[in-house]
Amino acid sequence: MAKDFTPRPEDRFSFGLWTVGNRGRDPFGDAVRRTIEVPEMLKGLADIGVYGVSFHDDDLMTFGASESVRRGEVELFKKTLDETGLVCTMATTNLFFHPIFKDGAFTSNDRDVRRYAIQKVMRNIDVAAELGAPTYVFWGGREGVESAAAKDTRDALARYAEAIDFLAGYVKDKGYSMRFALEPKPNEPRGDIFLPTVGHALAFIEKLEHREMVGVNPEVAHETMSGLSFYQGVAQAIWQDKLFHIDLNDQRPGRFDQDFRFGSEGLKDHFFLVRLLENSGYSGVKHFDAHAYRTEDVDGVWDFARGCIRNYLAFAEKAREFDADPRVAAAMSYTGVADLAEPTIGSFSKEAAAGLLAESFDVEALAQRGYGIEALDQLAVDHILGIA
């Protein structure tokens, strides 16, 4: 019989309204399944043990509707959160769907579009604060170009930074406690998107005035589309204390943004990713930004959502077993994993430099060393396959 993996609230799993709400529309075909209304969605998520939900302004409040209609939609959402016990874990702005954003939002060549985009975010930040969302995500899907002739990238990045800093100022002025998380993506829908990878985003943050309240929201699919290691991007973000949020899904390299069920493709990558998140003390939400295959009806959507959670918890269990295996400890010791935590020489001093220059090394002997990583990695594969 299949093993039971029941999530606990402290696992802090979260889904976007647009994920389980995805109706399978793609550039080639129309919606294939019915709308799941917000109350039904939240009840369904609560039933499978989810902790929280996230939203775009336009997922929750009808774009262009009167303030009273939009208020009613927020009130219904709040009421359903109360009834289901779910919390609002993140909010974000839809700055990509409406034709006004075809040339970008914060980086549109049209100044009025840029000002409208900032206003749209401010309005939703107020809603996010009311709902208690601790994180506000910025995914700049339309911030980019098809032709490098169309924008001076230096100006575009300056406008991007100006917008983020202005909005950070707004949050501080209002006394809200939320933090910002920038979500990189290399392309799609734009030919080239600004801040294409975790590395670009981390470097960009260092140029901001309010850099202390801005981190990253890396997504499995997006780094994988770039052919990069998601693990390494996340690990560096953790090292820089910038992993404020994470978008979990799955993806094959070299494809369009597939947003597959978490853990359905890259089993070894996900094993190490979950082990990293669990062992690093990451305390943010585990947010799924994925959707069911287009072949699915509403039952399939819930199979998809349960699958994301099940795979995360299964990898967490596998990671614990791996870390508790004495053969793994021995193999890691042989490989010298913990030895890398020991400082090499420390800060510069004239004495340390003179001491190092006077030291002699047995280069031949050092070059002969085997690191035993084949054996160590095979233990990981054995654990993943359940044959350890």
Instruction: Enumerate the active-site residues.
Output: 56, 59
Closest CA to 384 of 298, 325, 306: 325
* String of DSSP letters for 211-252: GGGEEE--BHHHHHHTT--HHHHHHHHHHTT-B---EE-B--
Q: Which 3 state secondary structure label does DSSP give 359? A: coil
Asked whether the beta carbons of 320 and 47 are under 8 A apart, the reply is no
Give least dist CB 257 to ligand GCO, A: 5
Assess 103 for contact with ligand GCO (CB under 6 A): no
Assess 219 for contact with ligand GCO (CB under 6 A): yes
Q: Please, where are the H alpha helices in the chain? A: 17-20, 38-47, 57-60, 67-84, 111-130, 153-174, 198-205, 220-225, 230-239, 267-280, 298-324, 326-335, 350-358, 363-368, 373-385
Q: What is the dihedral of CA 310, 311, 312, 313, to 10 degrees?
A: 50
Whose Cβ is closer to Mn ion: residue 41's or residue 328's?
Answer: 41
Whose Cβ is closer to Mn ion: residue 51's or residue 138's?
Answer: 138
Q: Where do we find the tokens 């034709």?
A: 99
Q: Which of 11, 103, 143, 219 binds Mn ion (CB under 5 A)?
A: 219
Assess 92 for contact with ligand GCO (CB under 6 A): yes
Contacted entry of ligand GCO, Mn ion, none for residue 89, CB cut-off 5 to 8 Å set by kind? none
Q: Which of residues 164-193 bind ligand GCO (CB under 6 A)?
A: 183, 185
CA distance linking residue 54 with residue 141, whole number of Å:
18
Contacted entry of Mn ion, ligand GCO, none for residue 143, CB cut-off 5 to 8 Å set by kind? none
Number of residues that bind Mn ion (CB under 5 A): 5
Assess 50 for contact with ligand GCO (CB under 6 A): no
Q: Which of residues 21-50 bind Mn ion (CB under 5 A)?
A: none
- The 237-256 site mask, x for binding ligand GCO (CB under 6 A), equals ----------x---------
Assess 223 for contact with Mn ion (CB under 5 A): no
Q: From residue 347, give the alpha-carbon distance in Å to each of 68, 341, 356, 359.
A: 61, 15, 13, 17
- The 281-300 site mask, x for binding Mn ion (CB under 5 A), equals --------x-----------
Give least dist CB 87 to ligand GCO, A: 18
Side chain identity at residue 381, one-letter code: V
Side chain identity at residue 55, one-letter code: F
Give least dist CB 54 to ligand GCO, A: 7
Binding site for ligand GCO (CB under 6 A): 92, 137, 139, 183, 185, 219, 247, 257, 289
Binding site for Mn ion (CB under 5 A): 219, 221, 247, 257, 289
